[in-house]
Amino acid sequence: MNIFVVNSGSSSIKYQLFKMPNDNPICTGLVERIGLENSIITHKVYINSEEKVIKRVLDLVDHEAGLNEVAHLLMEPEIGVIQDPAEINAVGHRVVHGGESFASTTIITKEVKEEIKKLFSLAPLHNPANYLGIEVAEKIFTKAKQVAVFDTAFHQTMPEKAFRYAIPQNLYTEMGIRAYGFHGTSHKYVAQQTLQYLNNKNAKIITIHLGNGCSMAAVDSGKCIDTSMGFGPLSGLVMGTRSGDLDPSVIFHMVNQLGYSLDQVSTLLNKHSGMHGLTGFSDMRDILKSIAEGDKNAKMAYDLYAYRIKKYIGAYAAVLNGLDAIVFTAGVGENDSNIRQLICADMDFLGIKINEEKNNIRSKGIREINTDDARVKVLVVPTNEELEIAEQCFELLTEKATAAV
């Protein structure tokens, strides 16, 4: 089954093509600067296990032009992997917000599209772009099933006491204001990988997704019971440019006493805070370089970043009533051995002890970095959101095909 995975952003499209159930992509790519001059397409195709990279600079006026170019690349004589768009059996779309309407992967119908549009206000930067990707894919891959995989779906198993806010009832019942959580596709993927690695489907684990955006999830027997991001992706951990948890009084003070507009506050907390606000850098590599050069402010920010994660580990160990493993994933989680060391330091009481030598070894697959006598496994599990989307699409369509027989 040929499954084309599309992650459509406001000015970009990430994509991968899988021939399921094979979990190695046939091709991958990124379209950047859509709507601007000198748009860039970076297309990678795997022929006889060798990677071939094609890079093109051209003007792409919109997402339809971008995805049309990608379709041509998929069919080009020398590097093509299909001969006709009709060979694509399904297009799996990453959709950031599914609200309470979608708790699982869903075949896209007219009604589903209308529901996604209703959720625009909950994810104004993401859902409109995701929706646009669906509209464009429907025009190009006319024979394919269009499937939505929601970032929020994995967190829909949270109990009400975890996702509700202590605000007037009608704000939840009428306006849908509650914690939804994000990065769900990544958390689900690494959680399932961890359960298989531990050979324990009932394991209690904490997944820690550290990229430019950061979030954590408490997972019991494969089901999310709590997560650090809330109504939007601003709460919880310190991130690259987002503040994470903040006393709401700070917002009132900035507006009422310091003269900020609400738009200015939103921009500041989402784009100019987090590690960028504390250090001037959002990339951990730059921050580590500053620390090495003796920048005490960068060191303080790094400590703060780790401290927030450590607090959440303690909280989630409590709500799980036990802990079998903690899992680091995503760009920073997979590659920054220093932050893993700092987070896991002085956590002997919880049974978390890290082996420094193992922690500093780099490898592509799942690796265990705890000491041999540690009660809790500490794992680095590379995430693969595109593969998770493809697998969910494959599972859904295979089930439906079986049921139809």
Q: Point out the residues that are catalytic.
A: 151
Q: Burial letters for 300-318: b for 16+ Cβ neighbours within 10 Å, e otherwise?
A: ebbeebbebbbebbeebbe
Q: Is 370 annotated as a binding residue?
A: no
Q: Is 240 annotated as a binding residue?
A: no
Q: Is 385 annotated as a binding residue?
A: yes
121's tokens: 């206000």
**Cα angle 402-404-405, degrees, rounded to a multiple of 5:** 70
Q: Is 210 annotated as a binding residue?
A: yes
Burial class (CB in 10 A: 0-12, 13-18, 19+), 119: buried
Q: Is 209 annotated as a binding residue?
A: yes
Q: Is 50 annotated as a binding residue?
A: no
User: What is the spatial distance between Cα 141 and Cα 145, in angstroms, rounded to a whole number?
Assistant: 9
Q: Is 38 annotated as a binding residue?
A: no
Q: Is 262 annotated as a binding residue?
A: no
Helices (H) and strands (E) in the chain — how many of each? 15, 14
Q: Is 285 annotated as a binding residue?
A: yes
Q: Is 14 annotated as a binding residue?
A: yes
Q: Is 94 annotated as a binding residue?
A: yes
20-26 LR contacts (CB < 8 Å, sep 24+):
20/390, 20/391, 20/393, 20/394, 21/394, 23/387, 23/390, 23/391, 25/386, 25/387, 26/81
Query: Shortest CA distance to 25 belongs to which of 388, 396, 397?
Result: 388
Q: Give CA 353 to chain center in angstroms.
A: 27
300's tokens: 């303080």
Q: Give CA 90 to chain center in angstroms.
A: 21
Q: Is 272 annotated as a binding residue?
A: no
Q: Is 213 annotated as a binding residue?
A: yes
| Strand 145-150 relative to strand 223-227, pairing | unpaired
Query: What is the C-alpha radius of gyration for the chain, rounded to an integer number of angstroms?
Result: 22
Q: Is 332 annotated as a binding residue?
A: yes
User: What is the spatial distance between Cα 383 and Cα 177, in angstroms, rounded to a whole number?
Assistant: 29
Q: Is 188 annotated as a binding residue?
A: no
User: What is the spatial distance between Cα 235 and Cα 179, in angstroms, rounded to a whole number?
Assistant: 10
Is residue 112 a contact partner of residue 153, using CB atoms and an 8 Å limit? Answer: no
Q: Is 335 annotated as a binding residue?
A: yes
User: What is the spatial distance between Cα 243 and Cα 216, in angstroms, rounded to a whole number?
Assistant: 15
User: What is the spatial distance between Cα 270 and Cα 255, in angstroms, rounded to a whole number?
Assistant: 16
Q: Is 113 annotated as a binding residue?
A: no
What residue numbers does the annotated binding site for ATP cover?
Answer: 14, 209-213, 283-285, 331-335
List, as residue ranges, the binding site for Mg(2+). 7, 385
Q: Which residues are annotated as a binding site?
A: 7, 14, 94, 209-213, 283-285, 331-335, 385
